[in-house]
Amino acid sequence: MPWVPLFPCHFRCGVDSPATRPTEILVENQKRAELAAVNLRELAARLDLAAGIETRPGDARDVVAKYVKADKTDLLVVGSRGLSGAAGMLMGSVSSYLVANAGCSVVVYRGAKADA
């Protein structure tokens, strides 16, 4: 059975977030990451994957890039929220950064587009 390290989603608080102070933002992001980790563990179990799922503080770009380099990962699969234009410029793109800096092959999964 393959071992697959999975990292829960990277979260940023925006206008839809009730958190306004830095401490509240950190606590909210940690809660979201822990919930995502629970969901990923359940998904991995349903798919019969031996997955190491953990949360780590820090910028997702740096955390994942350092992990895959230290682990000598051959292939990294990341998701994309599909932000473009001003939103993409302001928020930055974790997937674009990892394609350029991960040190291994990277597949960016965009998911199915919703019907307009």
How many structural domains compose the chain? Answer: 2
Domain co-membership, 13 together with 1: yes
pTM of the model: 0.64
In sequence order, the 6+-apart residues with CB closer than 8 A to the CB of 101 are 61, 65
Domain co-membership, 65 together with 46: no
Domain co-membership, 98 together with 79: yes
Domain co-membership, 26 together with 1: yes
Predicted local confidence at residue 88, as pLDDT: 56
What CATH number is given to the structural domain containing 65?
A: 3.40.50.620
Which of 32, 56, 80 terminates a domain? The answer is: 56
pLDDT digits (tens, 9 = 90+) for 51-109: 777 788 778 888 899 988 998 888 888 887 766 666 555 556 888 889 999 999 998 88
Which of 36, 56, 76 terminates a domain? The answer is: 56
Domain span at residue 111 reads 58-116
DSSP single-letter state for residue 18: S
Strand partners, 107: 77
pLDDT digits (tens, 9 = 90+) for 17-59: 555 677 777 788 788 888 888 888 898 899 888 777 778 877 8
In contact, 38 and 46? CB cutoff 8 Å: no
Strand-pair category, 75-79 with 105-109: parallel
The whole-angstrom separation of Cα 98 and Cα 108 is: 9
